[in-house]
Every structure is written in structure tokens, then in C-alpha cells.
Structure 1
Amino acid sequence: MAEHRTDIGALLDEITAVELLRGAVARESITGNEANFVGYLDEQMAARKLSPVQEEFLPGRPNIFGKRHGSGGGQNLLFIGHTDTVHVDGWRAHWQGDDREDPFGGAIVDGEIWGRGTGDLKAGICTSLAALDLLDKAGIKLKGDVSYAFIGDEESGEEGTGISAGIHHLTQSQKFLNAHQPDFAVYVEPTQLQVFPAQMGFFIADITIKGKTAYFGVPEQGIDALKASHQVMQEIWALSDQMGKSARHDLVGEAFILITKIEGGGYIAVPGECEMSLICKVLPGQSLDDAVAALETAIQGGIAGTGCQYEISYPAGRDHEFGGSPTDIDRSNPAIDQLAQALSRAMPDRGVINGAPYWSEAPFLIDRLGCPTVYCAPGNIANCHTLEERVSIKEYLAGITAFAEFIMRYCGVGE
């Protein structure tokens, strides 16, 4: 009967759904200012009878979570996402005189909603909330519970932030854990309505090669750190090639190391110091500790015999001290197929199983709570963090219908 209904999309109030997202975008929430958006979410969650609870993970920076209780006998589904966005530097100048000039205006241009946070990831948050509206309009009562948790501090880029402090706190919060025991989670990072049960791991390394500066006319009195750095880079690139050839993941692809920055040298003198930064991609099933050890061995090989020393730091610790862990949940979990089918029914060519070409916070849920987690939401990660950030209204509305069907099938429908 009701649990087989797939026609509820016809009941979707599209204007209200679009305004929900535009209202979310209007609440600027660059990392550190999450409270501005959380206030909006508190109103929206209360209106949906989710009994929202706010809990600060740092002073003035709250998480918010709540739950719609079912009648009993069903599973607990969690929708989770981060409330913070990256900065808007250069946005107004780039779009000056255009409808898109205000990064928080939610301008609608060519069937897309523009602005910071549209894709990453306020569309996902609003999709999950609007799906509940659709079920209510259809008069559908659930057996299982639907939980919502929206957390801060996921994005990097603002000084002293971006270390996943929000989800660190959530997964240790007794208020959350006592009230929510999710059996499956959808982290609403943008996937263009594909399903990502696997993701890459990563670490960032900042390396300083130290030699000895000297006047250029007597270079034999110095130790050339820049020359040694070239040898170190050769070793790192060789390691990257080896990593790519040694293993491949069916959804995530190959591992690699990308050197992202190098700086060193001085004015007509032997370069006494050189700095470089890199990011390493790690595959599911591989160890961050092993990858770090391999990198440090490569660096040591590069400076061998040069007289230089090196220092290294790992500034992007997340769930792991060095960075973020890779994940790959059991793909036989029926929830994955239920979600994929709902998406493909709502919009052609969606619901494809793939791997995330980014890292986000699923490991906290998978490893700490034992909760299988996928990424899924409207939005294209390729335009997020850019001056082109936007989300397709058609995709957003299809996502609402798909999420509503998935909730209905996963949680079960009562009489």
C-alpha cells in the first residue's frame, strides 16, 4: 500500500522549497559564524516538529540536531551536513552589476540558484528538510525515526578553524547519542544526486628543507637547500608514480601525491631554506600511517648526502592526527540500493554508485558510531568554493522527491 507509493512528487510545493533554500543561503555562515545559519535551522526544524537542540562545540559556535519520531518498529535514518561555508573573497567584484553580485542573495539565473553555500551544502540540508514536508503533505506516517544533525567547522580556510570540531563534539555528545542511534546516514555533500559509499583519504604535509646560506661568490661555503629540494621532489614524484601503479580502487581511483607549493631562495645568495607543501590521496583499505612513513622515507632519500636537514608538519588532522581517513562501506547494505533507485526514478541518469573525489566527515560516523554513511545531495562539487557556485533547481526538486521516497522505504510506513 502506502510504502509502495512513488507518485508523491506531484504534491511538491516547488515555490516553498526554493524559498527554503534561498533563505538558507541568505544566512551567511562562513566558518566561525555558523550560529547565523543555525538560528534559521532552529526555526525550520521547530516548524517541522523536530524538537531541535542546540549545543555549542566551541563558544558561540553551535551544532543543532533533532528528530521526527516514528510510530515504532522501523529504523533510524540520519541526515547530516555542515553549516559552514568557505569565504566569498572576490565574489562581489567578479559579479558587479549582475544579479549574482550578492553572494548571499540566492539569485535565480537560467534555472539555477546562485550564491555561496548553494551547493556546499545548503541545498543538501534543505533537500532533507523539504522531503519531510512532502511526506507530511502526502499524509505518510513513518514507523522509523528520521534524525537531523547539522554541524560546524567542516570547511578549511579560516584561521584557527576547519578541524571538524563540530562533528568531533557531536559524536561524543551524550545529548545526541542518548536520543539518536542512527542505523544509516546520508551526509549531504553535493554529488549531483549520485550515491558515494566510498571516499578518498588524505593528508597535507608542509616541509621545510634547511641548508646554509652563503654569498653567491663563494657557494662552497653554503649548503643549497633549493637544490636539495629538487632532489626531494624527484623522490616524491617517484613515490607518487609507485603509489598509482601499486593499487587502484574501483570507485576512488588511484593514490597520488600532488606538490602544491614550493618557495625558497634569496637575493644573489645560496638558498639556505626552501618550503614546500603537498597533499597525498590515500585509498580505502590503505593506512594513513603507512603513507606518511613512505613520504618521510622519500624525503630522507632526497636529502641524503646534501648536508641539509628537514622539518615536516601535518596541519590538517581530522579524524586522524595526520589527516582524514578513507572509507568504503559494505555495498550490499540494502539502503544504498534503495537510495539509488529513488534517485534514478526522480531524475534520469542519477543514483549511480560512485566514489567521492573529496574528503568529508563520514569516518566519524562510520568508525565512532558504527553507522554506515554515504554522501548524496544536489549540487556539483566542481563549482563549489568558486565564484560560480550554484545549484540546479530541477536537480534540487528531484532530490526532494527522491529523499522523501527513500525515507519512506527505509523507515517503513505505518497504517
Structure 2
Amino acid sequence: MTSVDPGLTGQTVELLQQLIRNACVNDGAPGSGEESRNAELLTGHLDGLELTSYEPLPGRRSLLVSLPGTDPDAPTVLLMGHTDVVPVSPDDWREDPFGGELIDGEVWGRGAVDMLNLTASMAVAVRELHRRGRPLRGTLKFLAVADEEAGGTWGADWITANAWDDVACDYVLTENGGIPAPMASGPKLVMTVAEKGIGWRRITVRGTPGHGSMPYGADNALVLAAEVVRRLQAYSPRAVVGELWRGLVDAMALPDQQRDALLDPGRLRDALTTMDPKLARYCHAMTHTTFSPNVIRGGDKTNIIPDRVELEVDIRTLPGVTSEDVDAMLAEALGDLAERVELSPVVKERPASASAVGTPMWDTLARRARAAHPDAEVLPWMLVGGTDAAFFRRRGVPSYGAGLFSAKASLQEFQSRFHGHDERIDVDSLGLSTQLWLDVAEDLLA
């Protein structure tokens, strides 16, 4: 079993609480985030180490620290955690979302799961390795980045484009993996090796202004936008059965009839209706390019028929799906309305990405995961959201979503806390993740 240092766990708890309380909320606007607050906090925590800052826009600060190795032929590992969090609806929370309170063995607050828990544990592990004073053969880097929650434009994307030599490495570890998942074939630990791409679109719908007292036959952009949303909600492209999906279906150990249906692109969507709804939501996303209309803007006044409405659609693409494919899918979904709307990107697009298993890093993660959960098998996993790992994978760097978590929250419950209400993480998981980074350094870099 994995041995955890209670003192280091306590440091991770305290640092996580402070990161949460800094409330670096990224709403997608260039001037939001103010990650400089968390960068300053981490600078103080890592006092005595050589630090480099990147601030392409005021307040959007990222931080890099490096523990240089003694052997230039030994690998370089980059631990990467983001310091921003998504907006929150505080009235719907049981606790203050920016209180960072420790309640019944759990730290509560926005970012506790996504991903300030890992960012804090990485910083604590790096400081501990520095404190021990034993030089490593390989180099360990820690990158605390801004703007992950809005596509990485002012964080990892900017840094990899403008300061690649600083962050060049052989492996990247970031969010999120090491999550226990009991399955019919036995307990599993999911470790992320792939993620979907991002093809977000802004759909502009135009109409004709007029007086709100005479709506009959009006060319109301809002009414047209409502039909656009309805068609997007009803649309689902054909399922794609990939290797990671086959591995997950095998792990479920389902009856042959259900298994065959889930592996048949023509029957998969209907087969999802027989599953637990939370699991089915993930399974659908893993096998389909998805379209989720999440933002609408339009209208000026109650008595004016709107002539312009904007929709923002979260589109997550499967491997092999191009920008042109996304536009073609939207045209198929909208049918005769496709000619009535204008499409534009919301953020820079990026394709789906994946890293191979069987590398020395993967072997280390699997071995350390089994030490923490001896009865569990490590299952390669696709993240249906996006992470900054994509910017490193496109440069050929094997990148994994890692971490180690206790079994105190089910996989479905854990996933529901991403961007959800009452986000929280248990202290045992904080200790396990902190120890994982120390163990990776011991295995690959010492």
C-alpha cells in the first residue's frame, strides 16, 4: 500500500484552501481570471526556488519552476496544473464556494476538483523534493498555468508557442486520472490517455427589428434562435467505436446482447438508454462528437423585436474530426436554417489528441496506482472535456491525466463535481496525489 506523509497532506490541504479563496474566476473574457493572485501565492510557497513568470496580458500570470537534473540524458517530467476556475452560482451551494472550508474530511470550494487539488499537491511535492536536497538525475518542472478554463489562449497555448525551450520535456502529467471505478469485471482505476477536441462555434442569427406589440408574422431572431437550439439538441451524428470505448465496454462485463449493441454504431445510441443516466452521459460523449448550446445573447428591450441573437455552442470532437467536418455537421443539423445563420469560432480550435500506453511513464503510473489500490486494474481513459495536455501532445510529448484518489466518491459522483455545485475533495485523495508526484520523481528521475 502507498505510504502517505500526513505533514505533506496537511500542507496540500492548506495550500488548496488558499488557492480556492483567491477566486481566480475565468469567465472567458481576456481580462478575467486574475491568476496573478494564485501565482503570487505559489511564489511564496516555492520561496527559494528559481521561478519564471509569463504574463501575456495583465493579471494572466503563469509560473514555472524547475529542479534541474544532473544527467542530460535522463528524462524531463513536467507537472502542469492550472490556477483558474470556472464561474459559480453561489446561491445553489451548500457552503461558500470560495470559503475553502475543511468540513468532515473534505475541502469545499470552486476548483477543489478542477483542478486546484492537483495544482496544490504538485507545488507541495516540488517544494518537498527541493527541501530534501538530493539532486535528481532527471529534471522536474512544475508549470502553474492561467486560462485553462477558456482554452489556454493566455496560458499553456501562449507559453508553448513563445517559450517552448523553457517547458520542453519528455512527459507531461496534468489532470485527471487515478480515479477508482468499480465495474462488473472488477475494480478499475481510470487514467487519462486521450481527450476530445474543441470546435466551439458562435452562431449568429439575424432577423428584422419591429415593435413588440405586433409579433404576428415578425422575423424575430430570438424565435429563430430557439428553433436552432431545438435542432442542435435533437442532432446526434453517427457513433464511433474506438479502441478506448471497446476497453471500457469490456470492463463493464455486460451480457452479450447489451455488449454487442454498445459496440454497434447503429445501435449504440439506443443501447445507452438502458444504462445508469450519469454513466450513459459520459458514454455518449465518448462515442459521439457532441453539440451543446450553452450561451445565448440577444434582444435590447422588451418591446423591440430582436434583429440579432448570438448562440455559443460547446462542440467536442472525436479523433479525426476536422473543422470542416464540424461545419458540415452543423449544416446537417440545421437543415434549411443553415443558410439563415453565420458561424464563427469562439476559441482557437484544436483536434482530439491521445498518448500511447506502454511508455516508462505509463508503466510508473500504473505501478503506483496499483500500490494505492492493490485490487484495481488501470484502465486507459478518454477525457471528454479538454485540458492543456493537448498543447504538448501536438508537439509529440506523451501526456497523461494523472493523480491518485481515494474510493470515497464514485467515478460518477467525482465527474459530477466538475463545474458543478458543492465541489469538494477528500483529504485522503490530496495525500495520495501528493505522494504520487514524489513517487514518479523517485522512479523516473532519481
TM bucket, shorter chain: 0.7 to 0.9
Structure 2 residue matching 1:352: 3-state secondary structure: strand
Task: Report the structure number with the largest CA radius of gyration.
Answer: 1
**SS, match of residue 343 in structure 1:** helix
Please give the alpha-carbon distance, in whole angstroms, between the structure 2 residues aligned to 1:226 and 1:154. 32
1:152 alignment partner in structure 2: 146
| Contact in 1 for aligned 2:2/2:371 (Cα 8 Å) | no
Q: Give the structure 1 partner of residue 18 of structure 2.
A: 23
Partner of 1:386: helix, strand, or coil? coil
Q: Which residue of 1 aligns with 2:29?
A: none
SS at 2:17 equivalent: helix
TM-superposition CA deviations, 1:375-411 (whole Å, max 9, x none): 2236734213334111111111111222221222222
One-letter amino acid matched to 1:128: M
The yes-or-no answer on 1:329 pairing with 2:355 is yes
Deviations 1:63-96, CA, capped at 9 Å, x for gaps? 11010112214100001121112234425x844x
Deviation (angstroms), 1:312: 2.4
Q: 1:295 to 1:141 in 2, by over 3 A?
A: same
Deviation at 1:236, TM superposition (A): 4.4
Distance 2:24 2:214 in 1: 54
- Could you tell which deviates more after superposition, 144-153 or 56-65? 56-65
Structure 1 residues 404 and 245: alpha-carbon distance in aligned structure 2, compared to 1, 3 A threshold? same
Q: Distance in 2 between matches of 1:287 and 1:119?
A: 31
Correspondence for 1:200? 196
Whether 2:34 is the aligned partner of 1:46: answer no
Deviations 1:28-80 (A, max 9, x none): 32233111111111122234x3x111121212332110101122141000011
Matched, 1:356 2:383: yes
TM-score when normalising by structure 1 = 0.77
**If the length of structure 2 is used for normalisation, what is the TM-score?**
0.72
Instruction: Check the 8 A contact 1:119/1:378 in 2, yes or no.
Output: no
Q: Identity of counterpart residues, as a percentage?
A: 22
Deviates more, 1:68-77 or 1:126-135: 126-135
Distance 2:221 2:130 in 1: 66
CA drift of 1:212 comes to 4.9
After TM superposition, the structure 1 = structure 2 runs for residues 101-140 of structure 1, keeping only pairs within 5 Å, are 101=96, 103-132=97-126, 135=129
In structure 1, how many angstroms separate the alpha carbons of the residues matched to 2:380 and 2:7? Answer: 26
Q: Could you tell me whether the CA contact under 8 Å between 1:78 and 1:182 is conserved in 2?
A: yes
Corresponding position: 1:310 with 2:344: no
Instruction: Give runs of aligned pairs for residues 249-264 of structure 1, distance below 5 A.
Output: 250-251=244-245, 252-260=286-294
Q: Tell me if the contact between 1:247 and 1:255 (Cα under 8 Å) persists in the aligned partners.
A: no
Aligned residue number for residue 136 of structure 2: 142
Residues 104 and 378 (structure 1 numbering): CA distance in 2 closer, same or farther, change over 3 Å?
farther
For structure 1, which runs of at least 5 residues remain unmatched after alignment? 1-5, 157-161
| CA 1:354–1:219: 2 relative to 1, 3 Å | same
Kindly tell me: are residues 145 and 11 of structure 1, through their superposed partners in 2, closer, same or farther at Cα, counting changes over 3 Å? farther
Query: Equivalent residue for 2:56?
Result: 57
Q: What is the aligned partner in structure 1 of residue 366 from structure 2?
A: 340
**Structure 1 pair 272–144 and aligned structure 2 pair: CA distance change class (3 A):** closer
Report if the CA contact (8 A) 1:114-1:389 is conserved.
Answer: yes
The alignment partner of 2:198 has SS state of strand
Aligned to 2:80: 80
Hey, what's the Cα distance between the residues in 2 that align with 1:261 and 1:63?
A: 28
| Aligned equivalent of 1:167 | 156
Structure 2 SS opposite 1:165: coil
8 Å CA contact 2:403, 2:436 repeated in 1: no
Confirm whether residue 178 of structure 1 aligns to residue 165 of structure 2.
Answer: yes
CA offsets per residue over residues 133-167 of structure 1, 9 Å max, x none?
Answer: 555677764210001111112224xxxxx652122
- Report deviation, 1:188: 3.3
Larger CA deviation: 109-118 vs 7-16: 7-16
One-letter amino acid matched to 1:310: V
How does 1:381-396 map onto structure 2 within 5 Å? 381-396=415-430
Deviation at 1:183, TM superposition (A): 0.3
What residue number does 1:67 align with? 66
Letter in 1 for 2:194: A
Corresponding pairs, count: 379
Q: 1:24, 1:122 within 8 Å by CA — same for their partners in 2?
A: yes
Counterpart of 1:185 in 2: which secondary structure? strand
* Alpha-carbon shift at residue 27 of structure 1 (Å): 3.1
Going from structure 1 to structure 2, the CA distance change for 1:373 and 1:115 (only over 3 Å counts) comes to same
Post-superposition Cα deviations, 1:344-366, rounded to whole Å, max 9, x if no partner, equal 31245485321112112222112
Q: Is the 8 A contact 2:42 2:123 kept in 1?
A: no
